[in-house]
Structure 1
Amino acid sequence: MYPDRVVSGMRPTGALHLGHYHGALKNWVRLQSELPCLFFVADWHALTTHYDDPSLIETSTWDMLIDWLAAGVDPSQATLFIQSKVPEHAELHLLLSMATPLGWLERVPTYKDQQEKLADRDLATYGFLGYPLLQAADVLIYRASQVPVGDDQVPHIEMMREIARRFNHLYGKEKGFEEKAQEAVKKLGSKRAKLYNELRTEFQQQGSEDALGQAKAMLDDAQNLSMIDRERLFGFLEGSRKLILSEPQALLTEASRLPGLDGQKMSKSYGNAIALREDKDVLSKKVRTMPTDPARVRRTDPGDPDKCPVWQFHVVYSDDATRQWVSKGCRSAGIGCLECKQPVIDAIVKEQEPMHERAQQYLDDPSLVRAIVADGCDHARKLAQDTMRDVREAMGLSYS
Structure 2
Amino acid sequence: MPVAPDNRPIILTGDRTTGPLHLGHYAGSLKNRVRLQSTHRQFLLLADTQALTDNAHDPDKIRRNVLEVALDYLAVGIDPALTTICVQSALPALAELTLLYLNFVTVARLERNPTIKDEIQARGFGRDIPAGFLCYPVAQAADITGFKATVVPVGEDQAPLIEQTNEIVRRLNHQIGRDVLLEAKALFAEVGRLPGVDGKAKMSKSQGNAILLSASPNGISNAVRRMYTDPAHLRATDPGKVEGNVVFTYLNAFDEDRFAVAELKAQYRRGGLGDVAVKRRLEDLLQHVLAPIRARREQFGRDPGFVIDLLRRGTRTARERTQATLDELRGALGLSVLPPA
Aligned to 1:130: 135
Deviating more after overlay: 260-269 vs 377-386: 260-269
Aligned equivalents of 2:266 and 2:101: distance in 1?
58
Alignment check: 8 A CA contact 1:262 1:291 kept: yes
Q: 1:157 to 1:327 in 2, by over 3 A?
A: closer
How much does 1:302 deviate? 4.3
Equivalent positions of 1:60-99 (< 5 A) are: 60-99=65-104
Residue aligned with 1:274, SS = coil
**How far off its partner does 1:349 sit?**
0.8
- 1:268 is paired with a residue of what secondary structure? coil
For the 8 Å contact 1:9–1:42, the answer to whether it is kept is yes
Q: Is the 8 A contact 2:149 2:184 kept in 1?
A: yes
Map of 1:279 onto structure 2 = 216
* Match 2:111 to one of 106, 110, 127: 106
| 1:53 correspondence with 2:58 | yes
Distance 1:33 1:298, change over 3 A: same
Q: Distance in 2 between matches of 1:289 and 1:129?
A: 36
The counterpart of 1:362, out of the listed 279, 292, 300, is 300
Quick one: distance in 2 between partners of 1:277 and 1:251? Answer: 27
Offset at residue 78 of structure 1 (A): 0.5
Aligned equivalents of 1:398 and 1:143: distance in 2? 24
Residue 165 of structure 1 corresponds to which residue in structure 2?
170
Tell me the distance in 2 between the aligned counterparts of 1:72 and 1:33: 12
- Consecutive unaligned residues of structure 1, counting only runs of 5 or more, are 175-243
Conservation of the 8 A alpha-carbon contact between 1:115 and 1:123 = no
Distance 2:166 2:329 in 1: 16
In 1: Cα distance, 2:168 partner to 2:39 partner: 27
Q: Could you say which residue in structure 1 is the equivalent of 2:3?
A: none
| Correspondent of 1:252 among 188, 192, 196 | 188
Q: Which residue of 2 aligns with 1:399?
A: 338
Mapped partners of 1:302, 1:100: distance in 2: 53
Q: Which moved more, 1:46-55 or 1:102-111?
A: 102-111
Larger mean Cα displacement after TM superposition, 122-131 or 362-371: 122-131
- The answer to whether structure 1 residue 261 and structure 2 residue 197 are counterparts is yes
Structure 1 counterpart of 2:29: 24
CA separation of 1:126 and 1:333: change in aligned 2, threshold 3 A: closer
With 280-289 and 320-329 compared, the bigger mean Cα shift is at: 320-329
- Structure 1 residue aligned with 2:248: 311
1:326 correspondence with 2:331: no
Equivalent AA in structure 1 for residue 258 of structure 2? D
Q: Does 1:270 align with 2:207?
A: yes
Which segment drifts farther, 154-163 or 245-254?
245-254
State the alpha-carbon separation in 2 of the partners of residues 326 and 29 from structure 1: 30
Contact residue 199 and residue 227 of structure 2 kept, 8 A: no
Q: Which is further off, 138-147 or 149-158?
A: 149-158
The structure-2 alpha-carbon separation of the partners of 1:270 and 1:66, relative to structure 1 and needing over 3 Å to count, comes to same
Q: CA deviation at 1:99?
A: 3.3
Following TM superposition, where does structure 1 have runs of at least 4 consecutive aligned residues deviating by more than 6 angstroms?
A: none
> Structure 2: 5+ residue runs without aligned partners?
1-5
After superposition, where does 1:204-223 map in structure 2 within 5 Å?
none
Provide the aligned length of Structure 1 versus Structure 2: 330
Between structures 1 and 2, the one with greater helix share: 1
Distance of 1:335 and 1:122 partners within structure 2: 50
> Greater CA radius of gyration, 1 or 2?
1
> Following the alignment from structure 1 to structure 2, what is the Cα–Cα distance between the partners of residues 164 and 170?
10
Distance 1:299 1:122, change over 3 A: same
Contact 2:146 2:326 in 1 (8 A): yes
| Deviations, residues 266-300 of structure 1 (Å, cap 9, x unaligned) | 22233221111210011112212323322332455
The answer to whether the 8 A contact 2:21-2:72 is kept is: yes
Residue among 332, 349, 358 paired with 2:287: 349
Q: Give the conservation status (yes or no) of the 8 Å contact 1:257–1:312.
A: no
- Cα contact 2:238–2:272 (8 A) shared by 1: no
Query: Scaled by the length of structure 2, what TM-score is found?
Result: 0.89
- Is the aligned partner of 1:144 residue 2:149? yes
Between the two proteins, what is the percent identity of the paired residues? 39
Superposed displacement of residue 6, structure 1: 0.7
Task: Report how far residue 107 of structure 1 moved.
Answer: 2.2
Secondary structure of the residue that 1:80 maps to in structure 2?
strand
Q: CA deviation at 1:27?
A: 1.3
The answer as to 2:284 corresponding to 1:381 is no
The normalised TM-score by structure 1 is: 0.77
Residue 339, structure 1, aligned to residue 277, structure 2: yes
Map Cα deviations across residues 203-233 of structure 1 (whole Å, 9 max, x no partner): xxxxxxxxxxxxxxxxxxxxxxxxxxxxxxx
